[in-house]
């Protein structure tokens, strides 16, 4: 669609940026925080763990001052459950509450809207030992945690995200990590965990609307439109299979209250459908999100399954993410898109396409909670960092978002990954995403000084002009 004129970005658009607790805070065992599953994961020996990360726990004032200088209108961060409730439930750790209260106050001081993720991959380890998300008691534990958050921060935080990338946790559990000596759950177990997370999320959204009526809450999913590898009808079916199983099945439950019909039949056929107890359907039907939070990095291109083991292959440059499923779909190459040096597809037009499909399906406003490019940025001797590739990446995505807005998609804001350099989920510290460089290496912590990158100044200008020149 070519338009005579592009619509502007909305007046109160949330120009923001994101982080998550375990990737930025450090202080992994300080002030009463207990270990989460993330702290217990086995790290490949050549990448940083999360014990110090970017030391944001001690430097949040300096960091938020820099975010303010960049002009951010929103800062998306996650709360570590293990700081608030070190035993998963029970006694509240006041030091944890006061840390996040200070972070929120610091944001407010500069007019930055805090956007809070309640759960970003980091289940308390003590709950994992009792069966984790496989145990229905974890649903109650999560809702209790939610209540503590709403009681303490509900008055100061308007935008809330329930669970980050539930679809990644269920579909690619190996990408998040494995406990030392542990093994991956079976797919049957994973879809049962998924069902419990869905119930926890639904009960939390309902509670939220009772306790924080002026706020907005939504799930944060990694959404990706799929292309068929050719106009062969079987490729179209396979692309639809994977789009449903990877994306819509995870957003349909919070929005419509039940699983996508295709996904439900697929789970039944493979004997991996969750056990559903009496009352579960009502719980799922009873809750509604106010918006969809979307993490978008890339699209995928899909061909028909050949029905044998050759359907499955590791994602280029990343042995921990397996793509393809026998009898469902196989990954294919796309000559029309780019790739990062980590093998992730770069597809700004696919961003517009994914936004259109998501909005068309749910008719809910969309908040982008992640989008960005990982690269081993170089700190120059004069303290500058020339990350023109990041500027290019974000500029193109924002241009496509503006086209999507012109297409009629309702957008709340854009919080790319990441506000500041953080530890990558499984590829360490050399894979950087931030607008602000943190001077540390994989193992040498150096001085952890902060240096705005070129993208920092570029984004500052974008925010100042409300995206007018994009
Ligand atoms: C998303 C996660 C983030 C972040 C990002 C980049 O899936 O929500 O926590 O890690 O991906 O991925 P990575 O760190 O693997 O490069």
CATH classification of the domain holding 211: 3.20.20.80
Evaluate if residue 425 carries a pLDDT over 90: no
Mutation test residue for ligand 1: of 417, 430, 433, the one with most atoms within 8 Å of CB: 417
CA distance 51 to 98: 20
Q: Measure 440 CA to ligand 1 centroid, in angstroms.
A: 19
φ, ψ for residue 35, nearest 5 deg: -70, 145
pLDDT at 272 over 80: yes
- 3 within a domain of the structure (yes/no): no
What pLDDT digit, counting tens, does each position of 389-416 carry? 999 999 999 999 999 999 999 999 999 9
Tell whether 310 is covered by a domain.
yes
Distance 254 CA to ligand 1 centre (A): 22
Amino acid 178: pLDDT: 80
Which residue lies with its CA nearest to atom 10 of ligand 1?
425
Percentage of the chain beyond pLDDT 90 is: 92
174 Cα: distance to centroid of ligand 1 (angstroms): 13
- Ligand 1 environment, Cβ below 6 A: 20, 23, 164-165, 168, 222, 295, 370, 374, 417, 424-427, 431
- 397 burial type by CB count under 10 A (0-12 exposed, 13-18 middle, 19+ buried): buried
pLDDT of residue 393: 98
6, β-bridge pairs: none
Atom in ligand 1 nearest the alpha carbon of residue 423: 14
Among 31, 140, 20, CA closest to 75: 20
Residue 7, in any domain of the structure: no
Centroid of ligand 1 to alpha carbon of 60 (angstroms): 21
The stretch 256-280 carries a mean pLDDT of: 98
Establish if 1 belongs to a structural domain.
no
Contact 240, 271 (CB under 8 A): no
Q: Would you say residue 181 lies in a domain? A: yes
- How many Å lie between the centroid of ligand 1 and the Cα of residue 295? 9
Average pLDDT over residues 43-48: 88
- Tell me, in angstroms, the distance from the centre of ligand 1 to residue 439's CA: 20
Which of 40, 44, 10 is closest to 22 using CA atoms? Answer: 40
Q: What sign results for the dihedral spanned by CA atoms 363, 249, 218, 299?
A: negative
For ligand 1, atom 15, the nearest C-alpha belongs to: 425
Which atom of ligand 1 is closest in space to residue 426's alpha carbon? 15
Residues 141-182 pLDDT 10s? 999 999 999 999 999 999 999 999 999 999 998 888 787 778
pLDDT of residue 311: 94
Whole domain around residue 455: which residue ranges?
A: 14-464
Residues identified as active-site: 165, 370
Mean pLDDT for all residues in the chain: 96
Residue 284, pLDDT score: 98
Whether residue 421 is predicted with pLDDT greater than 70 in this model: the reply is yes
> Residue with the nearest Cα to atom 9 of ligand 1?
425
In a domain, 9, yes or no: no
Place 293 in a pLDDT band, splitting at 50, 70 and 90: very high
Which residue among 17, 370, 427, 430 is best mutated to probe the pocket of ligand 1, counting the most ligand atoms within 8 A of its Cβ?
A: 370
360-369 average pLDDT score: 98
User: Relative to the CA of 168, which ligand 1 atom is closest?
Assistant: 7
Identify the DSSP state of 466: T
pLDDT one-digit tens code per residue, 317-337:
677 778 999 999 999 999 999
**pTM, entire model:** 0.97
Residue 469 falls within a domain, yes or no?
no
Task: Read off the pLDDT of each residue in 439-461 and give the average, rounded to a whole number.
Answer: 98
User: What does the buried/exposed string (b/e) look like for 315-338 if buried means 16 or more CB atoms within 10 Å of the residue's CB?
Assistant: beebebbbbbbeebbbbbebeebe
Asked whether residue 149 is domain-assigned, the answer is: yes
Name the domain count of the chain: 1
From 119, 424, 430, give the residue whose CB has the most ligand 1 atoms within 8 Å, as the site to mutate.
424
Report the nearest atom of ligand 1 relative to the CA of 175: 15
């Amino acid at each position: 669609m070519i338009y005579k004129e592009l619509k502007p970005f909305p007046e109160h658009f949330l120009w923001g940026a994101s982080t998550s607790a375990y990737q930025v805070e450090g202080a992994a065992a300080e002030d009463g925080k207990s270990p989460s599953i993330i702290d217990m994961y086995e790290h490949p020996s050549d990448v940083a763990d999360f014990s110090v990360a970017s030391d944001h726990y001690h430097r949040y004032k300096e960091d938020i001052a820099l975010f303010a200088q960049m002009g951010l209108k929103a800062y998306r961060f996650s709360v570590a459950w293990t700081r608030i409730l070190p035993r998963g439930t029970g006694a509240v750790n006041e030091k944890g509450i006061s840390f996040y209260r200070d972070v929120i106050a610091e944001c407010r001081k500069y007019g930055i809207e805090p956007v809070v993720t309640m759960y970003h991959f980091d289940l308390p380890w003590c709950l994992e030992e009792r069966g984790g998300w496989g145990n229905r008691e974890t649903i109650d534990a999560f809702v209790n945690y939610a209540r503590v958050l709403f009681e303490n921060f509900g008055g100061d935080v308007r935008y809330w995200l329930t669970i980050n990338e539930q679809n990644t946790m269920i579909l690619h559990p190996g990408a998040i990590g494995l406990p030392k000596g542990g093994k991956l759950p079976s797919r049957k177990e994973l879809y049962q965990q998924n069902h419990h997370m869905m119930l926890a999320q639904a009960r939390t959204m309902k509670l939220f609307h009772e306790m924080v009526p002026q706020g907005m809450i939504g799930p944060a999913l990694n959404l990706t439109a799929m292309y068929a590898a050719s106009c062969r009808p079987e490729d179209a079916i396979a692309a639809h299979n994977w789009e449903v199983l990877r994306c819509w099945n995870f957003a349909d439950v919070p929005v419509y209250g039940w699983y996508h019909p295709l996904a439900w039949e697929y789970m039944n056929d493979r004997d991996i459908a969750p056990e559903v107890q009496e009352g579960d359907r009502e719980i799922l039907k009873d809750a509604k999100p106010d918006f969809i939070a979307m993490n978008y990095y890339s699209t995928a291109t899909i061909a028909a399954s050949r029905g044998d083991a050759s359907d499955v292959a590791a994602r280029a440059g990343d042995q921990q993410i397996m793509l393809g499923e026998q009898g469902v779909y196989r990954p294919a190459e796309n000559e029309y898109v780019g790739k990062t040096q980590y093998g992730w597809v770069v597809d700004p037009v696919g961003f517009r396409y994914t936004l259109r499909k998501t909005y068309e399906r749910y008719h809910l406003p969309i908040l982008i909670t992640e989008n960005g490019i990982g690269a081993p940025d170089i700190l120059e001797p004069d303290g500058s960092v020339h990350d023109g590739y990041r500027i290019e990446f974000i500029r193109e995505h924002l241009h496509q978002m503006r086209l999507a807005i012109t297409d009629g998609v309702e957008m709340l804001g854009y919080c790319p990954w990441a506000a500041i350099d953080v530890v990558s989920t499984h590829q360490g510290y050399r894979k950087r995403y931030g607008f602000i460089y943190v001077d540390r290496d994989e193992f040498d912590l150096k001085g952890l000084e902060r240096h705005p990158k070129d993208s920092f100044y570029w984004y500052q200008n974008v925010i100042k002009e409300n995206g007018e020149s994009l």
